[in-house]
Amino acid sequence: MEDRPYLSIIVPVYNEEKNIDALLDRLYPVMTATGQSFEIIFTDDGSKDSSLKILREKSRELPEVRIIEFNGNFGQHMAILAAFELCRGEIVITLDADLQNPPEEIPKLIREVEAGHDVVGTVREKRQDSFFRLLASRIVNITTNRMTGMQMSDYGCMLRAYHRNVIDNINRCKESTTFIPALAQTFSANPSEIKVSHAERVEGASKYSLYRLVRLNFDLMTGFSVVPLQLFALFGVVTALLSLGFAIFLLVRRFLVGSEVEGVFTLFAILFFFLGVVIFGIGLVGEYVGRIYQEVRRRPRYVIRNVYGFKE
């Protein structure tokens, strides 16, 4: 394998027709300036606009550009995983297509990997997203670190670099829903984090609706930890103990003061609160059962319709 490139750049693309040109215009000079051999793999995640057409034109012009065409929309993480399986670089870098991650930061990531770090994460400085997204991310970052015992300051930033060893291990995982930064972290012996700048999306809108973000974060919580289940069990134990204490108090009170009749609606309120908690618990267990169900079906995680520009 003489012609293995040293660097693989991976870009998931979903309806980004207005961004591809601008991205390549900035990415290409950065890559040639490294002086290393490289490949740029775009996964077209079932775009409905002309993204694929533009990409194919580009791949005819530029020998380093390769394309994976998906059969439908399987999501950003699947798009990246598919490219992980086909990429051959020693250092692999993922990047968003919308230019929110400046390509100019790539040499910094390469230097970190060359310094011996097998996973290099990034923290977005002065992140340019809506207030709601920032708040949600903060909550997710803190709770995920607590629950998984990992240490990462910014789970959402997909400008990341990985060493070949980590990529090979990720490729051995066949789980059908996943969250790549967390998955990589579990295989990393020596991770590091650097600060990168962050820009506003140039063209088009974010592909993540509130619902998709919630789904993604459920995957993150339940896919990497059973702490939610354990916390829930713990809560059950504490509630039972408190109730027992209260029952004993009421019994004693009955002998000393007499029986009480008021407070029926207080009882309702308390009851409904706990009903809510119980339903939440069933839902939580359901999340795990759902994941197990998905895994045992063993359906393909994504379907590739075609690839372009890959050498045999």
Rg (CA), the chain: 25
Does residue 45 belong to the site contacting Mg ion (CB under 5 A)?
no
Question: How is 56-102 classified by DSSP, letter by letter?
Answer: HHHHHH-TTEEEEEESS---HHHHHHHHHHH---SEEEE--TTSSS-
Measure the CA–CA gap between 109 and 195, rounded to whole angstroms: 10
Residue 3 DSSP label: T
Residue 294 CA to residue 175 CA, distance in Å, equals 9
Beta bridge partners of 94: 10, 160
For residue 129, the minimal CB distance to ligand UDP (Å) is 7
Closest approach of Cβ 27 to Mg ion, in Å? Answer: 15
Name which of Mg ion, ligand UDP, none residue 79 binds, using a CB cut-off of 5 to 8 Å depending on partner kind: ligand UDP
Is residue 98 close enough to count as binding Mg ion by CB under 5 A?
yes
In the complex, least distance from residue 96 CB atom to Mg ion, rounded to whole angstroms: 5
17 vs 96, beta carbon nearer Mg ion: 96
Contact partner, 105, from ligand UDP, Mg ion, none, Cβ < 5-8 Å per class: none
* Nearer Cβ to Mg ion (102/290): 102
The listed partner (ligand UDP, Mg ion, none) that binds 197, CB under 5 to 8 Å by sort, is none
Which residues fall within 8 angstroms of residue 207, CB to CB, at 6 or more apart?
14, 15, 76
Closest separation between CB of residue 251 and ligand UDP, Å? 56
Comparing CB distances to ligand UDP, the nearer of 127 and 195 is: 127
Nearer to ligand UDP, 12 or 89 (CB): 12
Give the C-alpha separation, 254 to 251, whole Å.
Answer: 5
Query: Which of ligand UDP, Mg ion, none is residue 75 near (CB under 5 to 8 Å by kind)?
Result: ligand UDP
For residue 305, the surrounding DSSP H or E stretch is strand 304-308
Could you tell which of ligand UDP, Mg ion, none binds residue 207, using a CB distance below 5 to 8 A set by kind? ligand UDP
Q: Cβ of residue 128: shortest distance to ligand UDP, in angstroms?
A: 10
Q: Which residues pair with 10 in a beta bridge?
A: 41, 94
* Pair 84, 171: CB distance under 8 Å: yes
Alpha-carbon distance of 104 to 299, in angstroms, equals 39
- Is residue 104 exposed (0-12), middle (13-18) or buried (19+ Cβ within 10 Å)? middle
Residue reference for tokens 């070949």: 164
Whole-angstrom Cα distance, residue 170 to residue 180?
Answer: 8
The residue (of 220 and 228) whose beta carbon lies closer to ligand UDP is 220
| Closer by beta carbon to Mg ion, 64 or else 98 | 98
Give contact residues for ligand UDP (rule: CB under 6 A).
12-14, 16, 45, 73, 75-76, 79, 96-98, 100, 206-208
Q: Is residue 100 part of the contact set for Mg ion (CB under 5 A)?
A: yes
89 binds, among Mg ion, ligand UDP, none (CB under 5 to 8 A by kind): none
| Stretch of 27-35, 96-104, 219-227, 242-250 lying at the interface with Mg ion (CB under 5 A) | 96-104
Out of ligand UDP, Mg ion, none, which partner does residue 218 contact, by CB within 5 to 8 A per kind? Answer: none
**Residues within the interface to Mg ion (CB under 5 A):** 96, 98, 100
